């Protein structure tokens, strides 16, 4: 039988507990063999310049150590430039013939989807798993019903990278948002200090 591979793409700037909750929930609910976390170089739709890829990948490595079934795939950051999911999925399908691919994302990404590159092609390249996100309603018009074929509802995790960056800039507690090792890493390198979140 082919392998069932989940893909969680994002900026991971920085990785937080919401990402891990999303990946584990998808893996358990849909019996996936593995969920790959795939940081992008520079997300096409985000205005803010991302923190250096080396730092985002290093924090992901710390966060994923000991997390069963979650792996890290840094291909997009090494390729550099803008990140287009459609290209990454084409490459993964070539590399993993016989595997079924499941793209995992939060509800906020469903609203963005029509602005992704080649959305009409992309939607047919994999299965889609969508997780509810606190404060984000289902869009009134969804690009394609296949996007909402596999829904994951709760438990919700009210964390975002924006909130973590704000916590760092304001000197707030991060204990419930990110892991201790990642917190230590970003403090040691003064990441996100004095920047607008």
Interaction site with ligand ATP (CB under 6 A):
10-13, 18-19, 22, 105-106, 108-109, 131, 133, 157, 159-162
Closest separation between CB of residue 121 and ligand ATP, Å? 19
Q: How far apart are the first and last CA of the chain?
A: 45
- The DSSP annotation for 85-149 comes to HHHHHHHHHHHSTTPEEEEEEEHHHHHHGGGSSSHHHHTTSSEEEEE-BTTBPPPSS-S-GGGGS
Q: Which is nearer to ligand ATP, 162 or 195 (CB)?
A: 162
Residue with tokens 């490595």: 61
**DSSP conformation class of 3:** -
Residue with tokens 């994923």: 64
Closest separation between CB of residue 152 and ligand ATP, Å? 9
Report the residue closest to ligand ATP, judged by CB: 106
Closest separation between CB of residue 159 and ligand ATP, Å? 5
Q: Which is nearer to ligand ATP, 80 or 154 (CB)?
A: 154
Q: Which is nearer to ligand ATP, 36 or 133 (CB)?
A: 133
Helix axes 53-64, 180-188, angle to 10 degrees: 150
Closest separation between CB of residue 177 and ligand ATP, Å? 10
Q: Which is nearer to ligand ATP, 48 or 79 (CB)?
A: 48
Closest separation between CB of residue 20 and ligand ATP, Å? 10
Residue with tokens 């919700």: 156
Q: Which two tokens stand for residue 46?
A: 């985000």
Cα(32)–Cα(6) distance, integer angstroms? 6
Q: Which is nearer to ligand ATP, 1 or 47 (CB)?
A: 47
């Amino acid at each position: 039988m082919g392998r069932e591979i989940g893909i969680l793409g994002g900026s991971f700037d920085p990785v937080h507990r919401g990402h891990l909750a999303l990946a584990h929930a998808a893996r358990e609910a849909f019996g996936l063999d593995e969920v790959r976390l795939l940081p992008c170089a520079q997300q096409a739709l985000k205005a803010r310049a991302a923190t250096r890829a080396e730092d985002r990948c290093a924090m992901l490595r710390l966060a994923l150590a000991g997390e069963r079934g979650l792996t890290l795939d840094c291909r997009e950051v090494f390729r550099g430039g803008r990140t287009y999911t459609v290209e990454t999925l084409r490459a993964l399908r070539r590399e993993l013939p016989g595997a079924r691919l499941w793209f995992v994302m939060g509800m906020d990404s469903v609203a963005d989807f029509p602005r992704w590159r080649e959305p009409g092609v992309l939607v047919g390249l994999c299965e889609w798993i969508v997780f509810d996100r606190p404060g984000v309603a289902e869009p009134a018009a969804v690009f394609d019903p296949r996007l909402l074929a596999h829904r994951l509802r709760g438990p919700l995790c009210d964390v975002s990278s924006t909130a973590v960056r704000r916590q760092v800039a304001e000197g707030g507690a991060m204990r419930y948002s990110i892991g201790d090792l990642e917190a230590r890493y970003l403090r040691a390198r003064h990441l996100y200090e004095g920047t607008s979140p």
